């Protein structure tokens, strides 16, 4: 059975799955995957629906990770189409989630359906880890599913994140890894003073700017070093 990526993408976009609402997106996806032979497990954590679908049992285990939830559409009048009534204009699919990331999910499912027609028996397994909690606080989504998989000793060898990556044209880059984040709290204590005696005061804003500049310089040096290591590894890999 072949699945059409455009048709599936449109069907997913028609589900207004604004975090934390699912609006039927996960069940729709599970239905299509079951038609391809996937064993699907829908997991509910709090009010969030998640899906882990798997085809095959052997290794290597390849997983596609993504999400069906979307951010609010904002002012609908600023859209050229109703954001939940997708349309193709100038060869581009328009709708909330077309870019991030319902079309990506649809394309992967369609690709698997084509892969199956040419590979009746293949070594390894293909899985999808799809959450409905990525655009929000992201507490009851992927993290909870991964914890569940660990308890079941389900180990994933390779993982593809289907987030939009290419700024100019499709297929121009594949990123190895995923950017991280750091959150901290910086407190600078100053000293009150009078404008007539500035040397007796301490403006914490000036000190904070100096500290942030030092942090930024350090981060830039680390990023440059990482980029060098990536280039070296790519040369060695070739």
User: Distance (Å, rounded) from C-alpha 20 to C-alpha 45?
Assistant: 11
Q: Which residues pair with 42 in a beta bridge?
A: 51
Structure tokens that stand for 198 in this block: 């500035």
| Cα 96 to Cα 113: distance, rounded to the nearest angstrom | 25
Residue 170 is predicted with a pLDDT of: 77
In this prediction, residue 21 carries a pLDDT of 95
The pLDDT value given to residue 5: 96
CB 60 within 8 A of CB 124: yes
Rounded CA-CA distance 32/109 in Å is 8
Question: 69 an active-site residue?
Answer: yes
CB 96 within 8 A of CB 83: yes
pLDDT at 114: 96
The pLDDT of residue 227 is 79
Positive or negative torsion for Cα 80, 85, 86, 90: negative
Q: Which of 5, 11, 22, 69 is catalytic?
A: 69
Q: What are the extents of the domains in the chain? A: 5-161, 198-237
Q: Is 133 a catalytic residue?
A: no
User: Which CATH homologous superfamily contains domain 5-161?
Assistant: Zn peptidases (3.40.630.10)
Separation between Cα atoms, residue 100 and residue 23, nearest integer Å: 17
β-pairing verdict for 61-67 and 158-161: parallel
Strands 87-89 and 39-45: unpaired
Catalytic annotation, pick one of 5, 22, 134, 135: 134
Mean pLDDT by runs of 10 across the 238 residues of the chain is: 95 97 97 97 94 93 96 94 96 95 96 93 94 92 94 91 84 75 85 91 92 91 83 71
Output the DSSP codes for 67-125.
E--B-----GGGSSS-TTS-EEETTEEESTTTTTTHHHHHHHHHHHHHHHHH-SS-SSE
User: How far apart are the C-alpha atoms of 39 and 120, rounded to whole Å?
Assistant: 17
């Amino acid at each position: 059975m072949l699945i059409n990526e455009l048709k599936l993408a449109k069907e997913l976009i028609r589900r207004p799955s604004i975090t934390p609402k699912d609006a039927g997106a996960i069940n729709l996806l599970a239905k299509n995957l079951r038609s391809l032979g996937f064993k699907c497990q829908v997991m509910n954590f709090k009010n969030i629906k998640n899906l882990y679908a798997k085809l095959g049992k052997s290794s290597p285990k390849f997983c596609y990770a993504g999400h069906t939830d979307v951010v609010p559409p904002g002012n609908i009048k600023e859209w050229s189409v109703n954001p939940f009534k997708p349309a193709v204009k100038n060869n581009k699919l328009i709708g909330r989630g077309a870019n991030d990331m319902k079309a990506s999910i649809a394309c992967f499912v369609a690709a698997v359906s084509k892969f199956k027609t040419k590979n009746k028996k293949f070594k390894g397994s293909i899985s999808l880890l799809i959450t409905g909690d990525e655009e929000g606080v992201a507490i009851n989504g992927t993290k909870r599913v991964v914890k569940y998989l660990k308890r079941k000793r389900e180990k994933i060898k390779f993982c593809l994140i289907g987030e939009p990556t290419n700024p100019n044209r499709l297929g121009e880059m594949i990123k190895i890894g995923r950017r991280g984040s750091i959150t901290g709290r910086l407190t600078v204590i100053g000293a009150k003073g009078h404008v007539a005696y500035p040397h007796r005061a301490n403006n914490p804003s000036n000190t904070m700017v100096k500290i942030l500049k030092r942090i930024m310089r350090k981060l830039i040096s680390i990023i440059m070093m990482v980029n060098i290591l990536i280039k070296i590894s790519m040369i060695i890999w070739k």
